[in-house]
Amino acid sequence: MEAVLKSLHDNQQLAMDQLFEFLRIPSVSADSAFKPQMQVCAEFVQKAMVAAGLQAEIISTKGHPIVYGERIEDPSLPTVLVYGHYDVQPPDPLNLWTTPAFEPQIRDGKIFARGATDDKGQVFTHLKAIEAWVTSTGKLPVNVKFLIEGEEEVGSDNLDCFLESSKERLKADVAVISDTSQYGDGIPAITYGLRGIVAAEVKLTGPKKDLHSGIYGGSIANPANALARICGSLVGADGKVQIPGFYDDVLELSAKEREQFAELPFSEDSFLAEIGSGAAFGEAGFSTLERRWARPTCDINGMFSGYTGEGPKTIVPSTATAKITCRLVPGQQPEKILSSLETFVESQCPAGLKFKFTSFHGCSAFVFDPNSVWITAASAAVESAFGKPPVFIREGGSIPVVSSFQQILGIDTLLLGWGRNTDNLHSPDEHIHVADFHNGILASAHLWQKLSEVSR
Amino acid sequence: MEAVLKSLHDNQQLAMDQLFEFLRIPSVSADSAFKPQMQVCAEFVQKAMVAAGLQAEIISTKGHPIVYGERIEDPSLPTVLVYGHYDVQPPDPLNLWTTPAFEPQIRDGKIFARGATDDKGQVFTHLKAIEAWVTSTGKLPVNVKFLIEGEEEVGSDNLDCFLESSKERLKADVAVISDTSQYGDGIPAITYGLRGIVAAEVKLTGPKKDLHSGIYGGSIANPANALARICGSLVGADGKVQIPGFYDDVLELSAKEREQFAELPFSEDSFLAEIGSGAAFGEAGFSTLERRWARPTCDINGMFSGYTGEGPKTIVPSTATAKITCRLVPGQQPEKILSSLETFVESQCPAGLKFKFTSFHGCSAFVFDPNSVWITAASAAVESAFGKPPVFIREGGSIPVVSSFQQILGIDTLLLGWGRNTDNLHSPDEHIHVADFHNGILASAHLWQKLSEVSR
């Protein structure tokens, strides 16, 4: 291990230089104009894998390519699947960047560039740690498989298909993803739970065109009134979701988890000030962190009907549409929740309106037993690098690949985020702290050692 | 009267020719590019008034000019205020007109042109009838005052100001407006009731920008959910408006009115087929005509919040807005209803959301006692011209000037419509039936005689 650490220390500047090269490639997956750059970026990742001692190849998909690499030291050792993505969010709005998104620059101890933290900077920590192991000791203490895709920011449309067709090849004991954040400044974290999601659209159609509200109003069902009535019934004044059966399968937080959440530094005032909200509001009987991380929701994400310009317009709208997402917690089945939602909203549709329900791709929630040997090993690695033990947290968002790994490959995922919530991911001036980048490499180097010691 | 009728008969073609001239002027009040044509049109109306034996002048306003003319035969005779408008709706979409909107053409016994029925064709009937009286008998049986404005299609912004400042000048016993329709083909009507209106916008503001529904969902009030809840509470599943006190001042329909409505030819199936609605829906205990003409409503006219594009977007929206109008019936006070609405919606706004309520210009409902001497006189005139007695109907829309005449001038209005609902008003291929135009002139000629016989 000492040799590994020395190698890392000696190569800090080189790692930075190589990261800058990675960040300079505008691998914007959402914009087809950048398609050639996606290929260039995949090749960069392949070369970095080879430099780290992996056998690597570029695998084409219907969309952007996947880069896959592996190094099997010894089948008796634990095998770890590392996932990440080399594609980035579009850099728009360009004028809000202090320096250009694809010209990385260091300011105030931070590396500014699109992809710095999401996810190139974090992916790169694992490659550099592996490279240090291999170059300084000639081997790795575990077997590793790297799966770095190019479509995370556009929905990973072709990933599940690859997972299904490569089950044997991807066989592993545990997965590692560094695409989350620390809990706060100087508070490293392991995320052991994520919420799932289902998404749907409800469209009500009444008269074939907008009607004069004086001539017709009062005599036919108004789709906007009906949609409001239906959507207004989804969540009660007590913050509880009203869909029948919604909470039936919810796995409740343990008393210990609630205690751990309560012990985390959290200022509700700062939280509210940051988002500009006047007060917290949510399910009665739960704290703000519990509501965000471990309670299911039903949020209207968008709603539109009739006239949306200035001033009044006296119409009965022809149609009304709402976008709805439910965040799910462990225990809840996406299909069952979607079906309950559809039944509940359709049952309230008044006579004379056409009802259309469209559902979109969703995923289950995820929870990794925080007492598992893998989490304990990862925790020790993080502590070695960051100088203090990580806190154990959940996150309210969804990472569909974690659900796919569970369902298709049958493995749990260690979510080890080196970055911070304040790193402007998906926003202008995205960055990663230089210290977080180097500590991430260090934590990764320790991680392979600690994981190798796990008795399975 | 015989001389008048002969004169009308002899001058039918001339009246048509002059109407065509009137229709050729593109007096589109909404589009400032047509401002010079508005002046040209006002001058045309002034000249037509003078030709009819009135003293007439063009009165400028902050917007488009008003044309005012009067002929006072004898202060002891009844005085009638005739209102109409010379401005028209924009002709768009132009490509849907069979022949150009401002090149009048007769096809199938109908005159096609923008303004043919709304309202140039109808206004012109009164001028031609007066002209026939004056040219053939040298006098009129009543005093008349003509107020023809140029801003009806853009909200009559400057009309109330003119009414307020001209109360003495406009003093009259009753007003006449021909800007409504017959009940159906071959069923002339007198409209003795209109609904009023109040209009408002409710805007809820939560977090300062759209938030990630995974990271934040469940912990703060979602403006879209709250707006749906609030707007969904406005009308119950039984079609009754739920605003406290909403029905307190409603003047109920008399048993006789309900009978008259029930006797009108009305096919609910045709009505629903025409608007493309699958079923009628409204306040329990009332017929479709009653719901449209004489029951108050609360319709959402527009609603918008968050993401409105394709597919899902996982956000908690920052704001949510709804446009709401209530149609009012006689007895209800616009200010009181607006205030009840505001109180009701605000009381349901959850903690943490900013509530903003904006109200727009509204007006009271109107009802003219169907047994009044004026209605009886007008009914006789319509019967003489159209060959059958008119039916007595209400309409669900609002005509703010009728409310202004009542409140500012203290007079009721005879709503005598010669056109038809199917004349495509506000749409491409607007027209008036040639027969309706001539019958309108005839009815107007009889009207002055009949009104002169009213013992006040």
For B201-254, write each residue's pLDDT tens digit.
999 999 999 999 999 999 999 999 999 999 999 999 999 999 999 999 999 999
CATH number, domain containing residue B342: 3.30.70.360
- Shared domain for B43 and B144, answered yes or no, is yes
Virtual torsion, Cα A366, A371, A377, A381, nearest 10 deg? 80
Both tokens assigned to B291 = 């719901």
A108 and A232 together in one domain = no
Cα angle B27, B30, B33; round to 5: 70
Residues of chain A in contact with residue B203, where contact means CB-CB under 8 angstroms, are none
Do B93 and B150 reside in the same domain of the chain? yes
Nearest CA in chain A to B205: A277
Q: Is the pLDDT of residue B449 over 80?
A: yes
> B90 in a domain, yes or no?
yes
Instruction: Look at strands A431-433 and B55-59 and give their pairing.
Output: unpaired
- pLDDT over 90, % of chain B: 94
Does residue B190 belong to any structural domain of this protein? yes
CB A364 within 8 A of CB A407: yes
Contact across the interface for B224 and A299, Cβ inside 8 Å: yes
Q: Give chain B positions within 8 Å (CB) of A281.
A: 219-221, 350-352
Query: Are A234 and A128 members of one domain?
Result: no
E strand segments, B153-188:
174-177
A206:B277 CB<8 A: yes
Is A279 inside any structural domain?
Answer: no
The model's pLDDT over A425-450, given as tens digits with 9 standing for 90+, comes to 888 999 999 999 999 999 999 999 99
CA distances from B3 to B18, B54, B132, B136, B306 (A): 21, 20, 8, 6, 68
Q: For position A271, what pLDDT does the model report?
A: 94
Which of A311, A341, A363 terminates a domain? The answer is A363
**Boundary (domain end) residue, out of B363, B383, B411:** B363
> Do B109 and B160 lie in a common domain?
yes
Same domain assignment for residues A68 and A125: yes
Helix residue ranges, H only, A31-104: 35-51
Structure tokens belonging to residue B78 = 């009844």
Alpha carbon separation from B269 to A390, B29, B262, B278 (Å, rounded): 69, 37, 15, 9
Tell me: the pLDDT tens digits for B13-53?
A: 999 999 999 999 999 999 999 999 999 999 999 999 999 99
What residues make up the domain containing A238? Answer: 196-250+296-363
- Closest by CA to A85, choosing from A156, A188, A5, is A156
Q: Is residue B259 part of a domain?
A: no
| A38 and A161 housed in the same domain | yes
Domain count, chain A: 2
Do residue B231 and residue A232 have CB atoms under 8 angstroms apart? Answer: yes
Task: Yes or no: say if A56 and A144 are a contact pair by the CB < 8 Å rule.
Answer: no
Chain B CA closest to residue A281: B220
Are B392 and B314 within one domain? Answer: no
Same domain, B215 and B309: yes
Asked whether the beta carbons of residue B302 and residue A297 sit closer than 8 angstroms, the reply is no
Q: What is the CA radius of gyration of chain A?
A: 24
- Is the CB of residue A350 less than 8 Å from the CB of residue A232? no
Distances (CA, A) of B13 to B106, B116, B423, B437, B445: 13, 16, 22, 12, 17
What pLDDT was estimated at residue B116?
98
Report the C-alpha gap between B67 and B148 in whole angstroms: 5
Dihedral sign, Cα of residue A74, residue A75, residue A81, residue A87: positive
Token pair of B439 as six digits: 């019958």
Q: Taking CA atoms, what residue in B is nearest to A317?
A: B301
| Residue A384 CA: distances (Å) to CA of A373, A435, A440, B25 | 17, 14, 11, 86
pLDDT the model gives residue A181: 92
The answer on pLDDT for A302 being more than 90 is yes
B303·A302 Cβ contact <8 A: no
pLDDT at B456 over 80: no
Cα–Cα distance measured from residue B48 to residue B285, given in angstroms and rounded to the nearest whole number: 50
Mutate to test the interface with B, among A234, A289, A300 (most CBs of B within 10 A): A300
Closest Cα in chain B, distance from residue A5 (Å)? 36
Q: Are residues B165 and B308 in the same domain?
A: no
Model confidence band, residue B455 (pLDDT cutoffs 50, 70, 90): confident
Sort out which chain A residues have CB atoms less than 8 A from B321's CB and list them.
308
Q: Would you say A132 and A11 are in contact if contact means Cβ atoms under 8 Å apart?
A: yes
The answer to whether residues A35 and A134 belong to one domain is: yes
Burial of A282 (0-12, 13-18, 19+ CB in 10 A): buried
Residue with tokens 């050729």: B24
CA B157, chain centre distance (Å): 15
Tell me, yes or no, whether B421 lies in a domain: yes
Does any domain span residue A278?
A: no
Backbone angles phi, psi at A210, to 5 degrees: -60, 135
Question: Is the per-residue pLDDT at B362 higher than 90?
Answer: no
- Considering the domain boundaries, does residue B6 fall inside one? yes
Q: Residues A92, A177: one domain?
A: yes
Using CB atoms, which residue from A233, A281, A327 is nearest to B220? A281
Contact indicator for B393, B264 with CB cutoff of 8 Å: yes
Which ipTM did the prediction report?
0.88
pTM for the whole structure:
0.88
State which amino acid sits at residue B349: C
